[in-house]
Amino acid sequence: MATSQTLFTETVWMLGAATIAAPIFKRLGLGTVLGYLAGGVIIGPVLKLITNGEEVLHVAEIGVVFLLFMIGLELKPARLWTMRKDIFGLGLAQVVLTGAVLVPLAMVWGITDWRAAVIAGYGLALSSTAFAMQILDDSSDVNTRYGQRSFSMLLFQDIAIVPLLALVSILGGGAEDATATDMLLNAGMALAVIALMIAAGRYLLTPIFQIIAATGAREVMIVATLFLVIGAAMAMQLVGLSMAMGAFLAGVMLAESTYRHELEADIEPFRGVMLSIFFIAVGLSLELNVIYNNLALVLIAVPVLIAVKAAVIYGLCRLTGSPHEDAIRIAALLPQGGEFGFVMFSTAAAAGLFSNSLASILIAVVTLTMVATPLCVRLAERLTSRNTERHEELEEDFAGAGDEVLMVGFSRFGQIAAQILLASGRDVTIIDYSAERIRQASAFGFHIYFGDGTRKEVLIAAGIEKAKVVAVCTQKREITDRVIDVIQENFPRAHIYARSYDRGHTLALRQRGVEFELRETLESGLVFGRETLVALGTSEDEAQAITDDVRRRDAQRLEIQAVEGIMAGSDMLHTAPVRPEPLMRPKRRNPDPTVKVTGKDLA
pLDDT in tens, 245-292: 778 778 877 777 777 777 777 777 887 788 788 778 877 877 778 778
Give the pLDDT band (50/70/90) at residue 394: very low
Higher pLDDT, 382 or 64: 382
- Evaluate if residue 316 carries a pLDDT over 50: yes
| Share of residues in the chain with pLDDT > 70 (%) | 83
- Evaluate if residue 433 carries a pLDDT over 50: yes
What is the chain's mean pLDDT, rounded? 79
The mean per-residue pLDDT over the stretch 388-393 comes to: 41
- Evaluate if residue 598 carries a pLDDT over 50: no
The strand order across the sheet containing 428-432 reads 449-450, 428-432, 405-408, 469-472, 496-500, 516-519
pLDDT for res 510: 87
Q: How many CB atoms lie within 10 A of CB 535?
A: 9
Give the pLDDT band (50/70/90) at residue 576: low
pLDDT for res 573: 67
Residue partners of 557: CB distance under 8 A and separation at least 6: 568, 569, 572, 573
pLDDT for res 183: 60
Give the pLDDT band (50/70/90) at residue 181: low
Answer yes or no: are the C-beta atoms of 574 and 550 closer than 8 Å. Answer: yes
As a whole number of angstroms, the distance between CA 213 and CA 448 comes to: 14
pLDDT for res 311: 95
pLDDT for res 600: 40
Give the pLDDT band (50/70/90) at residue 483: very high
| Pure H helices in 384-476 | 412-423, 435-443, 456-461
Classify 598 as helix, strand or coil: coil
Question: Which of 71-80, 369-378, 574-583 has the least mean pLDDT?
Answer: 574-583
The Cα angle at residue 554 between residues 549 and 555, in degrees rounded to 5: 100
Mean pLDDT is highest, among 88-97, 352-361, 562-571, for 88-97
pTM of the predicted model as reported, rounded to 2 decimal places = 0.57
How many Cα atoms occupy the beta-carbon half-sphere of 151 within 13 Å? 26
Higher pLDDT, 343 or 492: 492
Q: What is the CA radius of gyration of the chain?
A: 32
Angstrom CA distances, 480 to 258, 509, 514, 576, stand at 21, 10, 12, 36
User: What are the tens digits of pLDDT across the range 334-352?
Assistant: 998 887 787 788 778 777 8
Higher pLDDT, 161 or 211: 211
CATH code matching the domain that covers 4-383, chosen among 1.10.10.10, 3.90.850.10, 3.40.190.10, 1.20.1530.20: 1.20.1530.20
pLDDT for res 586: 45
- Evaluate if residue 522 carries a pLDDT over 90: no
- Evaluate if residue 230 carries a pLDDT over 70: yes
Domain ranges of the chain: 4-383, 405-572
The mean per-residue pLDDT over the stretch 145-151 comes to: 85
pLDDT for res 4: 67
- Evaluate if residue 392 carries a pLDDT over 50: no
- Evaluate if residue 390 carries a pLDDT over 50: no
Give the pLDDT band (50/70/90) at residue 186: low
User: What are the tens digits of pLDDT across the range 447-474?
Assistant: 678 788 888 888 888 888 888 899 999 8
- Evaluate if residue 359 carries a pLDDT over 50: yes
Q: Which CATH class is domain 405-572?
A: alpha beta
- Evaluate if residue 176 carries a pLDDT over 50: no
- Number of H-type helices and E-type strands within the chain: 27, 6
The mean per-residue pLDDT over the stretch 170-194 comes to: 65
Q: How many CB atoms lie within 10 A of CB 466?
A: 18
pLDDT for res 583: 43
| Share of residues in the chain with pLDDT > 90 (%) | 13
Nearest to 500 by CA among 489, 487, 483, 490: 483
- Evaluate if residue 38 carries a pLDDT over 90: no
Give the pLDDT band (50/70/90) at residue 577: very low
Report DSSP letters for 337-378, one per residue.
--HHHHHHHHHHHHTTSS-HHHHHHHHHHHHHHHHHHHHHHH
Higher pLDDT, 542 or 588: 542
pLDDT for res 575: 59
The mean per-residue pLDDT over the stretch 435-439 comes to: 73
Give the pLDDT band (50/70/90) at residue 173: low
pLDDT for res 569: 60
